[in-house]
Amino acid sequence: MKFLEKLINGQMRIMECHDALSGMIASQASFSLDDDYKEFDGLWISSLCDSLVRGRPDMEVVDISDRLQMIEKIKSVSSKDIIVDIDSGGNISQLFYTVKTLSERGINGIVIEDKIGIKFNSLYGKDNPQCQDTIENFRKKISIALKARINDDTVIIARIESLTLGKGIDDAVFRGIEYIEAGAEALLIHCITRQADDLFKVIEKIKRKYPSIPIVAVPTKFPEIEEEVLFDRGVNLVIYANHLLRAIIQPMEKVAVSILKNGRTSDVEHHLISINEVLNLIPKGIEV
């Protein structure tokens, strides 16, 4: 089934990964209870996580060629669908090259956000004022992205930043409709309020006009809202955008400090998986 069809059918969940190990863990994760079985439908590769693991700010400073190396490593350990976040995509020429290259690599979805200028992570909200692209220019970007892709199984997803930039519901709805009419095949409506009420209002208004358009949500700032609620409110795909990376930072800090403090590792061993478990994660080579 083509990826766009999967999106339209809805109720998908994907997990962030930032290297081959996290890609393998996310791909193998599953939950089963009675008749309820769940696994992640795909992987999310974001500029935030790609930047952080390289010790760089999330400001579009990691070159696409550098990111492609990691994408290939992740693809080598997983057959899951992959969506890649490319921020604004740069200028028109950069966008064309980036989309073409990712499409050639078999990437299933590409997210382009409607911001311009010096990029800061959207989770800063109004603390770092940023500029939103004009509708006319972003429509042009959508058109270029559609022309650049090598196959139509690479879905072009337009990310709307109106709610994070304080532009309001009406602006988000208007842009969403404009982007759909320009050819966007799905919308990611970014929201950083804890209740997500504005997000739900935007979805309702857009789906009133385009009921089959897939909607993507990133619940980083509203973690209490269960995915079933998001699905019921019109979301087709939920992205857990940074959780595996966030899961390892504090434990690594604690282990490092404990070893410095105590001069031994016995105090932290009970927090760690055994070295044998580590070795079992690694695929064994072919015996000859």
User: pLDDT for 229-244, tens place per residue?
Assistant: 999 999 999 999 999 9
* Whole-angstrom distance, CA of residue 85 vs CA of residue 71: 12
Is there a single domain that holds both residue 53 and residue 148? yes
Confidence of residue 57 (pLDDT cuts 50, 70, 90): confident
* Number of independent structural domains in the chain: 2
Q: Catalytic residue, from 19, 41, 50, 58: name it.
A: 58
Is there a single domain that holds both residue 34 and residue 137? yes
Tell me the pLDDT of the chain averaged across its residues: 93
Q: Is the pLDDT of residue 120 over 70?
A: no
Mean pLDDT is lowest, of 126-135, 171-180, 266-275, for 126-135
**What percent of the chain is modeled with pLDDT above 90?**
84
Is there a single domain that holds both residue 190 and residue 254? no
Check which CATH number belongs to the domain holding 135 and give it.
3.20.20.60
Q: Is the pLDDT of residue 126 over 90?
A: no
Q: Is the pLDDT of residue 103 over 70?
A: yes
Burial class (CB in 10 A: 0-12, 13-18, 19+), 279: exposed
Is there a single domain that holds both residue 146 and residue 270? no
Asked if residue 125 lies in contact with residue 167, where contact means CB atoms within 8 angstroms, the answer is no
Q: Is the pLDDT of residue 286 over 90?
A: no
Domain residue limits at 71 = 3-241
Is there a single domain that holds both residue 13 and residue 26? yes
* 8-state DSSP, 220: G
Task: Determine the pLDDT at residue 123.
Answer: 61
Task: Determine the pLDDT at residue 205.
Answer: 98
Last residue of a domain, one of 219, 241, 263: 241
Is there a single domain that holds both residue 133 and residue 269? no
Is there a single domain that holds both residue 137 and residue 269? no
Task: Determine the pLDDT at residue 119.
Answer: 61
Asked if residue 116 lies in contact with residue 132, where contact means CB atoms within 8 angstroms, the answer is yes
Task: Determine the pLDDT at residue 152.
Answer: 86
Is there a single domain that holds both residue 269 and residue 170? no
C-alpha gyration radius of the chain: 20
Q: Where are the beta strands (DSSP E) in the chain?
A: 12-16, 30-33, 36-39, 42-45, 81-85, 109-113, 115-116, 131-132, 155-160, 186-189, 215-217, 237-240
Confidence of residue 281 (pLDDT cuts 50, 70, 90): confident
Is there a single domain that holds both residue 204 and residue 272? no
Active site residue 127: no
The pTM score is 0.93
Is there a single domain that holds both residue 282 and residue 194? no
* Whole-angstrom distance, CA of residue 18 vs CA of residue 58: 14
Average confidence (pLDDT) over 120-144: 82
Is there a single domain that holds both residue 166 and residue 209? yes
Is there a single domain that holds both residue 113 and residue 149? yes
